[in-house]
Structure 1
Amino acid sequence: MDRDDTTLRVLSTSDLAELDITIGDVVDTVEQAYRTLAAGESDNPRKLTVKPADGHSVAYAMLGRDGSRNVVAIKTSYKHGLHESRDRQHYYTTLTLYDDVTGLPVAMMDCSRIGSLRTPAVSALLARECAAPDATTALVIGTGTQGRLALPFLLTTLPRLDRLLLSGTHPDGIAAVRGELARHFPGRDVELVADLASAAREADVIVATAGAHTPAAVEADWLKPGATAILVGHGLAPSTLHRADRVIATSEAQMRVTGTDMADSDGSLPPVDLELPGIISGAADARTSPSQRIFAYNSGLVVTDIALGHRFAQIAADHKLGTEVALWR
């Protein structure tokens, strides 16, 4: 049907679950968003945050513009029950996109699947740019949503990885990690490790995706020369940041907002050496020595959500998925 300025395509969780998109497509879309941002063609203002004094909930609002796609969007995120276990929390996140050429709305969608794919894509890009040239062993900490997708994305950007390690305790999560790996890379398997310190000493790349209540905390002394430690959720001790030879972030401003749990006893975070968009653009190299221990902080930039959300909206429109709502009529 012809679109007008009163209708909006709404894409539900189930609509987006039907969309088929490859890991390579996701990585390429996210990488292009970083390149456009580094070129100064996109806008990614700092996120707004509100949180009550007792910390039981947190809400974010993020506005941005993708210059290569000519799309403006706003993402909202609200999580309630932060002191509860994950299964008792409430979490809602949405993305609304507008075409900045026609001036028409594109779509409003649940943003959970976009985030679940964007985040491991960013980790994989960080790993590709930061890993030592001879990196062959990867360790993933955690078996939640991000832990389950981490290895297939890592193998997409670092195909030379030949040993895959997993630190996790939940049987369903462990099975899901193995299932995702087998689905995307048949024939590959992952070793479940019981001794996190020993596994960390062997790993060239560590991706920490565990939840806030995890007891896992890799210390700086456990990291081998040349190791790259990527923080997505939890699982790394602050020492891995403060004693790193190089600190990389998707955004230093974002890290200073969301990375306060990694602060030292004075409440301080060290400066960031480089940001990922500049590295991907070729402006600088993440690593200047094979033996450097690198800490990388993966926080979301809304331009990557916009790019991936727009890609989803294109696929959904091609398959006539979603519901047209006369929102402004």
Structure 2
Amino acid sequence: MSGIPGSAGSALRVLSTSDVAGIDIGLADVVSVVEEAYGTLAAGRSDNPRKLTVQPGDGHSVAYAMLGRDGVRDVVAIKTSYKHGLHEDRAKQHYYTTLTLYDDTTGLPVAMMDCGRVGALRTPAVSALLARELAAPGSRSALVVGTGTQGRLALPFLLTTLPDLDRLMLFGTHPDGIRAVREQLRAHFPERDVEVVTDLRAAAGDADIVLATAGPNTPAAVESAWLKPAALSVLVGYGIAPSTLHHADRVVATSAAQMRVTGTDMADADGRLREVDAEFPEVLAGRAEGRTDPGQRIFAYNSGLVVTDIALGHRFAQLALAQGLGTAVQVWQ
């Protein structure tokens, strides 16, 4: 059951950006919730259909719709995402994403919330889990490419799952973004700092883990030949070249179906994507192998699954509604 306090009748509790921003949740808690959601999916208790995508021919915007069901929480939800101005600088872009949750035990609505913070936490948590499971034994260095929303929490989450990392590198082109990455790292790990690099090729060659979180206009494109023989490269946004996929010894994706939808920019010259060797929920469940040899170069695709948004969004709804946050709206009267 959803366990959400304060859901009365058919009223929909709307949680704004400021409501969600005021909720305190630790990084380890986020990782735990996300990992549980993957386990539930792998056990066949949740449903995560392939996302729907629409985009105009000139590529100036993109929209996604994702429906899912969490079988542990008995929650059905739909997430929508719309970004406009993809050819513009980040400051000129418009981005809206929402998550609407329904209690599948009572049949009543739970909440609708701005999903920005949920995604900003969920995605780097998944990358950190990928790194924990797939990085070569003894990995000590990580390079984050990009300083946007996903890049800013990448290092704190990596240190949450891999506390022995001792060299943290960052490649970014926006001074404000670089400053924000440093601030987030020090907020969670006050004793740590990040090394800002300008020679991307050299940094990639030194990194055990390369995490690409940059936006579509980034000049960064790490090539497979730059990487260590046993390196793990994780793609969230942009910043690594298609060669990292096609020359990898092994490919792991959060969802092979979603990679075929959203990973087309990684296709080869003939428009083909490399086949996925294992899906990450199955790896976490122990039913598929991630890294099968310490010397393998692995490519991991983090497209995000709506079941992780549902699980984390449900946790936010519990915390918010317990505090009386949000506004009850009678949509269906």
Shorter-chain TM-score category? over 0.9
Q: CA-to-partner distance for each residue in 1:105-164, whole Å, 9 max, x for gaps?
A: 100001111111010001001101100111000110111111110000000011111111
Normalising by structure 2, we get a TM-score of: 0.97
Alpha-carbon distance change, 2 to 203 in structure 1, aligned in 2, over 3 angstroms: closer
Matches within 5 A, 1:56-205: 56-205=60-209
Q: Which of 294, 297, 319 matches 2:298?
A: 294
In 2, Cα distance between equivalents of 1:53 and 1:219 = 28
In 2, Cα distance between equivalents of 1:320 and 1:172 = 34
Matches within 5 A, 1:272-311: 272-311=276-315
The equivalent residue for 1:262 is 266
Q: CA-to-partner distance for each residue in 1:23-44, whole Å, 9 max, x for gaps?
A: 0111100000000000000000
Structure 2 residue matching 1:61: 3-state secondary structure: strand
Q: Which of 226, 231, 243 matches 1:239?
A: 243
Q: CA-to-partner distance for each residue in 1:7-38, whole Å, 9 max, x for gaps?
A: 01100001001000100111100000000000
Structure 1 residue matching 2:237: 3-state secondary structure: coil
Q: After TM superposition, give the deviation of residue 56 of structure 1 in Å.
A: 1.7
In 2, Cα distance between equivalents of 1:85 and 1:253 = 30
**Paired residues of 2:55 and 2:63 also in contact (CA < 8 A):** yes
Give yes or no for the alignment of 1:328 onto 2:322: no
The range that moved more, 55-64 or 293-302, is 55-64
Q: After TM superposition, give the deviation of residue 171 of structure 1 in Å.
A: 1.4
Amino acid at match of 2:134: C
Give yes or no for the alignment of 1:12 onto 2:16: yes
Q: After TM superposition, give the deviation of residue 52 of structure 1 in Å.
A: 1.6
Amino acid at match of 1:302: V
Q: After TM superposition, give the deviation of residue 2 of structure 1 in Å.
A: 5.6
Q: After TM superposition, give the deviation of residue 90 of structure 1 in Å.
A: 1.2
In 1, Cα distance between equivalents of 2:67 and 2:9 = 20
The equivalent residue for 1:212 is 216
**Paired residues of 2:128 and 2:158 also in contact (CA < 8 A):** yes
Q: After TM superposition, give the deviation of residue 269 of structure 1 in Å.
A: 0.3
The range that moved more, 83-92 or 199-208, is 83-92
Q: What is the RMSD of the two structures over their aligned residues, measured on CA atoms?
A: 1.0
The range that moved more, 112-121 or 279-288, is 279-288
In 2, Cα distance between equivalents of 1:143 and 1:60 = 23
Q: After TM superposition, give the deviation of residue 285 of structure 1 in Å.
A: 2.5
**Paired residues of 2:101 and 2:314 also in contact (CA < 8 A):** yes
Structure 2 residue matching 1:77: 3-state secondary structure: strand
Structure 2 stretches lacking a partner, 5+ long: none
Q: CA-to-partner distance for each residue in 1:29-82, whole Å, 9 max, x for gaps?
A: 000000000000000011111112222211111110001111000111111112
The equivalent residue for 2:232 is 228
Matches within 5 A, 1:36-51: 36-51=40-55
In 2, Cα distance between equivalents of 1:218 and 1:251 = 23
Q: After TM superposition, give the deviation of residue 282 of structure 1 in Å.
A: 1.2
Q: After TM superposition, give the deviation of residue 5 of structure 1 in Å.
A: 3.1
Structure 1 stretches lacking a partner, 5+ long: none
In 1, Cα distance between equivalents of 2:291 and 2:225 = 20
Number of positions where the alignment pairs a residue of Structure 1 with one of Structure 2: 329
Q: After TM superposition, give the deviation of residue 3 of structure 1 in Å.
A: 3.6
Q: After TM superposition, give the deviation of residue 84 of structure 1 in Å.
A: 1.5
